[in-house]
Structure 1
């Protein structure tokens, strides 16, 4: 019998996370994490299916060596928790989904067996007893949601022994009865502090030593966090920013410090990076910076402060960056007036858009 590898990374806490957080952002977070796990595939595993909160990989007629298998497991745990750390450190959204994402955990089940295949809608999928067993092994008695489980069949092939110890792994014996059949396994809980997390860019917190050139404040009859969603979810941007042809962005990504998008206005491409600055207590601060303007650059901040459950105050501050004398003159004579006019039009449009959607709700 020729054995094939079955490899299932499963995000622990998914059901509770989705049911108890804002649905849109929870979907984005899970989507990002699944993408990260897929990109962390170093062993040429084939993706059979995305199963909600889990990925079902297989490698036909081949079982990687013990060294390669454990390295693959470590790579996926490292990628997963590196991304959670990025989400935690760079988040600007205070919603429950973004705030509680760092609580998610990962478990990986590794099994093997002889595979059969079925074709469903032209998709070739693994099928058979070993596939069922691999999924059954996700329902075990391990007192942790952060572990790797390697079935006895795989352990025997790769030479993994009980009580195997390393800096990351500490395997012990486990097992259970599944559909009347006893299946043994080795498992190791994972101590995240022993993972060497990938580095990521920590966006600079902008420090401004001069007052904004343009300030505009307006009250909105909507919850503060919902107004933030209208501003930071770029799918809404064309409804309220004047002259926008289209917005280019990653729709499966939660906007956070360091993310980028392109705003095409009257055919001109403006590249923006999400930034932040220190705000006062109770304020939500979202900022954007671009250098694709007739100055050295431009920073724009949206500062939202809750007034009540259904009312908030939005303040927009614009900081043109001028270093040369020519830029300063242009700002004084032309640019500042144009910016003020554009910001006012956008805020008025946003007000109307929010009012229309609130009335519909």
Structure 2
């Protein structure tokens, strides 16, 4: 009978959300993180299936203790690098996006016999070994991030497990189940400390070429959602026929998309800047004729529940030829954006969100 190492990284930490945006974004974020774990599969474990926020994997090539621990460390480090970077670059303030930085990752590892089951063309591990590792997902380990070895795996690596491991026993199906766990909380702290020491890479915003102010009779969150959710762009931006973007990712700083117009396509990248009392969204492009670069920032500030002050700042960097007609260019772009804001205002006043 073949032996296998069973491996389960499990993500936890999302709160329960109620609105569609939070549910949709949480699905995208979890999918990104699961893909990241698979990209850092150093031991080339075989994926059996995705189980909610967890991956169920196995291998018959049993690694050394050092290889296994390095595998979990690498996954955990890359996981927290991603969540920290996401927190720096996120533009959405929904519950899912705000709490991504709080997500945790734990690892469950088991060693035992490998029995396979075949149902039509699907073949995967089956039996008591699979049941055992899944039951341990609901353990009583008192920390958020750890690696857990079942008793059979600890016996395999007993000469290496000389410190920092805690033994625990729990009752499952009227019998005791022993396991050992090692706390990994320090890795998250180290990754976040390193990230916070890096130089701030936000855009260097100068004095705008034009500012348009307008009062919207609409809720700030609703306005921001229409602005930042690319799938709604065509509803209020009448010059855009469609927007090409990755529908499986949440829009954030650095996200690229194409606005398809009647006379061509403009490639944009999402930008923003920090603010304690406003919601800010912007984009930049180098695709406009006579301009080296164009970017805009929309600053939203709440007056009351259904009144929002909107301030649009336009930034233009002209080419050599563009500098000769810059007043005309600025006038035209300002006119276009006044129409866009008016259309956005009308759309956000509707009671039903698409």
Fold match, TM over 0.5?
Answer: yes
Alignment of 1:305-344 (within 5 A): 305-322=301-318, 324=320, 326-333=321-328, 335-344=329-338
Structure-1 separation of matches of 2:132 and 2:96: 32
Question: Aligned with 2:308: secondary structure?
Answer: strand
Tell me the equivalent position of 2:92: 93
CA contact (8 A) 2:3 2:111 kept: yes
Answer yes or no: is 1:7 the counterpart of 2:3: no
Deviation at 1:292, TM superposition (A): 1.1
Tell me the equivalent position of 1:188: 182
Of 200, 209, 218, the match for 1:222: 218
Tell me the equivalent position of 1:256: 252
Q: Quick one: structure 1 residues 28 and 219, their matched pair in 2 at CA, closer, same or farther if it must change by over 3 Å?
A: farther
Deviation at 1:221, TM superposition (A): 3.4
Question: Aligned with 1:244: secondary structure?
Answer: coil
Of 331, 350, 354, the match for 2:348: 354
Structure-2 separation of matches of 1:315 and 1:194: 38
Answer yes or no: is 1:269 the counterpart of 2:265: yes
Tell me the equivalent position of 1:110: 109
Of 234, 237, 261, the match for 1:238: 234
Question: Aligned with 1:98: secondary structure?
Answer: helix
State the TM-score, normalized to the length of structure 2.
Answer: 0.88
Question: Number of residues paired by the alignment?
Answer: 348
- Which runs of no fewer than 5 residues in structure 1 stay unpaired? 165-169
Tell me the equivalent position of 1:167: none
Structure-2 separation of matches of 1:196 and 1:13: 18
Deviation at 1:312, TM superposition (A): 1.6
Return 110-119 or 225-234, whichever deviates more: 110-119
Question: Aligned with 1:138: secondary structure?
Answer: helix
State the TM-score, normalized to the length of structure 1.
Answer: 0.86
Please give the root-mean-square deviation of Cα atoms over the aligned residues, in Å.
2.7
**Could you report, residue by residue, the CA deviation over 1:191-216 in whole angstroms, capped at 9, with x for unpaired residues?**
125655797995423220x3333x33
Tell me the equivalent position of 1:126: 125
Tell me the equivalent position of 1:75: 74
Deviation at 1:96, TM superposition (A): 2.7
Return 291-300 or 40-49, whichever deviates more: 40-49
Structure-2 separation of matches of 1:145 and 1:302: 38
Structure-2 separation of matches of 1:310 and 1:38: 44
Tell me the equivalent position of 1:207: 205
CA contact (8 A) 2:33 2:79 kept: yes
- Which runs of no fewer than 5 residues in structure 2 stay unpaired? none
CA contact (8 A) 2:17 2:95 kept: no
